[in-house]
Chain A
Amino acid sequence: MKKLVSFFVAGLLLVSGCGAATLEGENTNTDTAVEEKDASELVVGVSVSTLSNPFFVSLEEGIQNLADENDTEIRAVDAQDDSAKQINDIDDLIQQGVDILLINPVDSSAITPAVESANTAGIPVIMMDRSSDSGDVVTLIASDNIAGGEMAAEYIKEISGEQAKTVQLEGVPGASATRERGEGFLNIAEVSLDVLDSQTANFDRAEGLTVMENLLQAHSDIQAVFAQNDEMALGAIEAIESAGLSDEIQVVGFDGTEDGVNAVKDGRLSATIAQQPEEMGKLSLQAAYDFFAGEDVPAKIDSPLELVTE
């Protein structure tokens, strides 16, 4: 056994000396000219993070529906929220020689080796909902969180009036959704609302409840709440209801989750800014069509948001 180990080590040293040891993605394909292709000729590889989440099921449906209309062949794989499985799946798609990859990554950093292998193989990549930390991508299709934050502030102004006393529940500090939703909200709110306080509840329902309780103690005259996701909004509603202030305080959430939309229907939540995953899927495949039609595709495409009020 010792012999084996020493043989292996000696072999490794020898090999690294000879330059036989190489890394993947080192020799990138320099061929950048796009061969124009019709939608019906395209084979599109689709890798989504998980089909256990209704959001991503709708995303895939959006792609599939548009593909059916145009006779495009779709090869879809499901990463089941496992980053390692996802890069293996994408290797398999590259192996099948798909023309383009639509990727909704489990994680923005873990997906980079897969994007780089696609680059090496000369296969263009379109990212959906989440970006890739490195590698070349054609475009990113994601909801415009800034516009969503602005929509929320506009709606609060509409229902609670100009200069309504508002508090904001923020998401996980530093997360892109937190930054962008907050930025959009403040763009409008700083001018036309009176923002009393803004605190983090980490996108979490239970934290939304406790943070809201604290805010109700600190400010007796709150008229409206903007929660950066539906989970926190639902937590805040619990706090508001047990304080008996449901009639005085309007709550607006974000995401349009099933729970969130149901709460809007029940009249507990005033509104939610809903993402439209199906539309996101359609836009992604459309971007692929545009790319192969030789048209310019912008580096970021906004997926539309919808204000759900009833």
Chain B
Amino acid sequence: MKNEVENIQIGKKKFEYKELVTKLGPLLALIVLVIFVTFLNPSFISATNLLNLLRQVSTNALIAFGMTFVIITGGIDLSVGSTLALSSALTAGMIVSGLDPVLAMIVGVGIGFVLGAVNGLLITKGKMAPFIATLATMTIFRGLTLVLTDGKPITGIGDSFIFKFMGRGYLFGIPFPVVLTLVCFAVLFMLLHKMTFGRKTFAIGGNEKAAYIAGIKSDRIKVMIYAISGMMASISGIIITSRLNSAQPTAGTSYEMDAIASVVLGGTSLSGGRGRIVGTLIGALIIGTLNNGLNLLGVSSFYQQVVKGIVIIIAVLIDRKK
């Protein structure tokens, strides 16, 4: 089994030059974008705006990190936005009904993990296409959120310091969501690039049959990966719930799009087997810089959507050229 996995790794080494281009491309795009926006509006580069921007990016980045694993296996997770809303509503509900906020948040993240695992089971045991399985759970989770909240926001979460701190806190002047994102990034980076779990993830995405013959329990890995994706969505949900001081039944609607876009902008291939979580972080920063920068430049929200779409198309076209 080791041999097979190593072969795949060796196979990748041949493309080192191309890998370099893939690695630097997104970063270069980000730098160009930052210079461009700064040139048009110098207030973009101020410390307060950059911290603002990083905090705005954090919720999408967290989801996109989980999505990176899913996409590397050749799958997709459309249910993240609904998972975010459902776990957020349940967490808020638990806090309102008197559960300790810290415990409620831990349970909330656990719920995200379980919801993700449900996706994984449908895909592996149910042999459903990831697109279809998560499309179905996307509407199911959203529906359950609406049932649970009666379509109204859950408010009166109280003033637990730790809960408020999650979305609105500052650690040495840095917004806590940013700190949390960096910690999650470090952990997931190790998991993907330094541990056997990550090697197996790449192996499944590269050639699932070969991975299976090599003795990788791909089903188990995949369920874990979708569970991680759900968990990351629920962490993002806790930040949003804390920032909004309430759980919104429509929270996270279409967040899967920004997450997928970040992963793709970061150079991870939608056909699986190839990708880097660093790229996803840069991709999320590109999306965030576009949102924030276009706002600062006073571009109408309608044009903003057009610009965002065009950037994604350009990124994928460049990716195809390689």
Contacts and interface: CB of A to CB of B under 8 A. Distances in A.
A24 B291 CA distance: 22
Interface stretch (B61-69, B114-122, B162-170, B311-319): B162-170
A91 B155 CA distance: 22
Nearest to B305: A80
A21 B173 CA distance: 8
B56 A88 contact: yes
B306 interface: no
Given A15-B171, A24-B170, A95-B49, A133 B155 contact: yes
A83 B248 contact: yes
A112 B155 CA distance: 11
Contacts of A93: 295
A8 B49 CA distance: 26
Contacts of B153: 107, 109-110
B33 to A, nearest CB: 16
Interface in B240-266: 240, 243-246, 248, 250-251, 253
Nearest to B175: A24
A236 interface: no
B246 A107 contact: yes
Contacts of B292: 88, 92
B269 to A, nearest CB: 27
B15 interface: no
Instruction: Decide if the interface of chain B is mainly helix, strand, loop or mixed.
Output: helix
Instruction: Decide if the interface of chain A is mainly helix, strand, loop or mixed.
Output: mixed
B227 to A, nearest CB: 17
Interface residues of A, number: 38
Nearest to A110: B244
Contacts of A76: 300-301
B245 A113 contact: yes
A81 B153 CA distance: 13
A217 to B, nearest CB: 28
Interface string A57-89: 000000000000000000111101111100111
A262 interface: no
B128 interface: no
A4 B165 contact: no
B263 to A, nearest CB: 20
A75 B298 contact: yes
A22 B183 contact: no
Contacts of B271: none
Contacts of A15: 171-172
Contacts of B24: none
Interface in B148-168: 153, 155, 161, 164-165, 168
A5 B187 CA distance: 9
A115 B283 CA distance: 30
A83 to B, nearest CB: 5
Nearest to B190: A1
A4 B194 CA distance: 14
Contact of A22 (B43, B170, B240, B298): B170
A96 interface: yes
A299 interface: no
B296 A95 contact: yes
Interface in A1-55: 1, 4-5, 8, 12, 15, 20-25, 51
Contacts of B168: 23-25, 113
Nearest to A88: B56
A294 interface: no
Contact of A21 (B171, B248, B251, B298): B171
A161 interface: no
A97 B248 contact: no
A21 B171 CA distance: 5
A97 B48 CA distance: 12
Nearest to A11: B171
A109 B190 contact: no
Contacts of B187: 1, 4-5
A207 to B, nearest CB: 14
Given A78-B301, A88-B291, A92-B296, A107 B248 contact: yes
Interface string B293-310: 001101011100000000
B244 A84 contact: yes
Nearest to B56: A88
27 contacts: A4-B183, A12-B171, A20-B171, A22-B169, A23-B161, A25-B168, A51-B302, A76-B300, A76-B301, A77-B301, A84-B59, A84-B243, A84-B248, A88-B56, A88-B291, A89-B295, A93-B295, A95-B296, A106-B248, A107-B244, A107-B246, A109-B153, A110-B153, A110-B244, A110-B246, A113-B245, A133-B155
Given A21-B176, A88-B292, A109-B153, 18 more contacts: A8-B183, A23-B165, A23-B168, A76-B301, A78-B302, A81-B250, A82-B250, A83-B250, A83-B251, A84-B240, A84-B248, A95-B296, A96-B296, A107-B246, A110-B153, A110-B244, A110-B245, A113-B244
Interface of B: 41, 43, 46, 48-49, 52, 56, 59, 153, 155, 161, 164-165, 168-172, 176, 183, 186-187, 190-191, 240, 243-246, 248, 250-251, 253, 291-292, 295-296, 298, 300-302
Q: Which 6 A-B pairs have the closest CB atoms?
A: A78-B301, A110-B244, A92-B295, A109-B155, A109-B246, A88-B56
